[in-house]
Structure 1
Amino acid sequence: MPSITTHGKPNHPLKDIVPPTVLPKAAIHPDAEEIDREVVTYLVNTWEWPSEKHKQGFISWKLSDVVLFMFPTGETSRVKLATELLLLGFLMDDWFDHHPLAESSLVVSRLQSLLSSTTFSDSTSPLTTTIDRMHASLFARILAVPSPRDSSRRVLEAYMAMLACHCESSRGTGAVSAVLGDYLAFRETDVGMPICAELLYWTEPDLDEALGELERAAPRPLDRVANYHVSILNDVFSFEREWKAARALEEGAVLVNGVAVLAKEANLSVHAARQLCLGLVRAWEVEFLSMSEELLGSCGLDGQGEASRLDGNLIRRAVKGIERRMTGAEAFSWRTSRYL
C-alpha cells in the first residue's frame, strides 16, 4: 500500500478535520506553466466579465490545476484543449448562478444545436454572443483532433450533458431529498465526471487507440468509485460557497451538496455530516485500491472468463489514470482559493 500522504496547506480551514489519504501524492503536467498561461490569457481576454473583481477572482483561483493534476501524462496539445473546455465549464457554472433559468436553458439549447450541426456555419442559431463564439471555436478545434470511435465528440457530448444538468427546472430537488445513493448518481453528471472519464483516454491517444471494448469495460467499476470520491470531496470543499450561492438565487433554489444530503438523511449537524463525508472519501480510496489489485491480478492469467483475455499493461494504465483523477482533484481542492 502507498505511503500515507496529505496535500493540505497548513492554514487551510479544513486542515484539522481531513484524514490523510492512502493514495500517492498527485503529480502535475510537465507543461503546466505553458498550458495555464495560454489558456487563462485567452479566456481572460475573451470572456465578458461582469466586473474586474470577477476577472481577478478567476485568475487567482488557478482552475487549470484541476486538469493539469488529473491528466499529467496526457499529450500537451490535447491537455491544453481539455483545460480550455473545463475552465469554460467553470465560467458557465458561474454564469448560470447569475442568470434566470429560462435564459440559461436557452443558451444551452443553442450550444446543443451548435454541436449537432453538420458544420458550425449551418447552425440554426446565429453566433451572436461571446458564449456562442467561444464554444463554436473550441468545439471545432476538439472535433478536428483525430480520435478512434469518435471519442472527441463523446467528450463534447459529456460536456453538454453537464451544462444541461445545471439548467433543469427541477435541478437537484429530487436528489437533495433522496438517499445518498440516488444523490451520488445525480452528482456524477452534475459535477462533470463523465467528461473526466472521457478525457482520461482522449488526452492519451495511444491508449485511446489501443483499448478494446473489454479493456474499456473492465475498469468501469473503479470509475464509479472515483466519481463518488471526487464528487463528495468537491462537496466538502465547496459547501460554504454553494450555500451562499443557493441563498442568493431566486426561483426556490436548493443547495445541491452531499454534505447537506447526508446531514438531512442522518439528522446530523453540517460539521458532523462533513466529517462523515470525509470518512466516506477515504473509505472509497481503500476500496479503490482493493478493487484495483483484484482487477490487475486477474489480467493475463490462464483460465475462464473475460478477465483472462485482457491486456494487463493497458488495464494498469487505465487504472493509474483513474487514480490520478482522484489524487488530482484533491490536489486542486487544496490549492485553489475558489472555495475559500
Structure 2
Amino acid sequence: MKLKTLLTAAATALAFAVAPAHAEKIIKLHHLNVDDPFESTTGAMVTVFKNLVESGTGGSVKVQTFPNGQLGKDNEVLSQVKGGLVQAGIFSVGGFASAYPMIGVLDVPFLFPDISTTYTVFDGPFGQKLAADIEAKTGMAVLGFGDSGGFFAITNSKKAIKTPADMAGLKIRTMTSEPHKRIISSLGGQPAAIAWAEVYTALQTGVADGQMNPVPIITMAKFNEVQKHITLTDHLFAPYVWVINRKFFDSLTPDEQAVVRSAAKSAIVANRGISRIIEASSKGLPALAKTMTVTSLTPAEKAAFRSAAQPAVKAYVSETFGKEGEDMLSALEQAVEAAGK
C-alpha cells in the first residue's frame, strides 16, 4: 500500500509539474532587425505587441521575440511558420514572395502619391482583399501590414543620380524579388540579388555599388558608412507582411484571439509612428545628410523614372500572374485613387 501511495503521489506531482508547460501558449515571433523600438521599425512592432498580448491575456499567452534573423532568412522561417515550428513572423515583401509570389503586385513602382495613402490602402478594403487571398493560398492568418520605413530611396558609392541615365552601369543590390530586379534593369542599372545579412559587406567591398531601401533602414544598417550618395526617388512602398500560424491561432480562446489581433493593430500604429520619427530625426535623413550627398527629384524628374520603370513591372505582373494578377493590381490602383478623394 505504501508503495502504491508513493507512486500515486509521484504521478500526481508530475502531472501538476507538467500541466503548466502543456497549457502555456507561446508565440515565437521572427523578424530581421533589432528589438530596440527606437532603432528599428519592426523592433517597435514586436515590443508593443509583446506588452499588449501578455498584459491583455493575463499572461496566458507569452511572446518570445527572435530579432536579427536568428531563426533564419525570411524564406526559411516562412516554412517554419506554415509548419507551426515558429508561430509568427514579420516578413519583407521580397522574403514573403517565396510563400505568396503574387505579393509582387505591390512592387509596381510609383503607385502611391504620399505615405498616408499607403496606410489608408492597406488598412482598408484592398488590404482585406489581399489578406484574404494570402490566407487562402498559404494557410497562414494575416495580422496586418507594417511599415518597413516609408518610401524607398536609392544609394550608391559612385555618383549623384537625377535621371534614369545616371543609373547606367551601376550594380544595385535588390531583394530576390523579380519586380525589384526589373525596376533596376529598366532604369539601366545592373540588379544584384544579395541576402540582407551580406549587403553591408557587398557595398563595402564593391560587390555592389548601391542598394535601395527606406531611409530608416539605411540608417539602421549604417549604409552611410559605405555609400556616398542618396536619391529620394520614393519609388516603392514595400510593407512588412505579418502572419501567424493558423492552427496555433485557432487554438487560442476567442478572447485571446481578440487580444492578439488588437495588439497587432496597435503595434503597427507604433511601427508607423517610429518610422516617421526615425526618418525625420537625427537618426534619419538629417544624419545621412552629414556624410552623404542628398538628391531630391522634381515632379518632372520623378515622372521620367516612373515612365522608365513602371511598364516593366506591370508587364511582369501580367506575364506571371495573368488575369488574377491584373485584377489585384487594378484593385490596388483603384484603392489608391479612392484614398486621394
Report the TM-score range of the alignment, normalised by the length of the smaller protein. under 0.3
Structure with bigger strand share is 2
Structure with bigger helix share is 1
Larger radius of gyration: 2
TM-score by length of 2: 0.25
TM-score by length of 1: 0.25
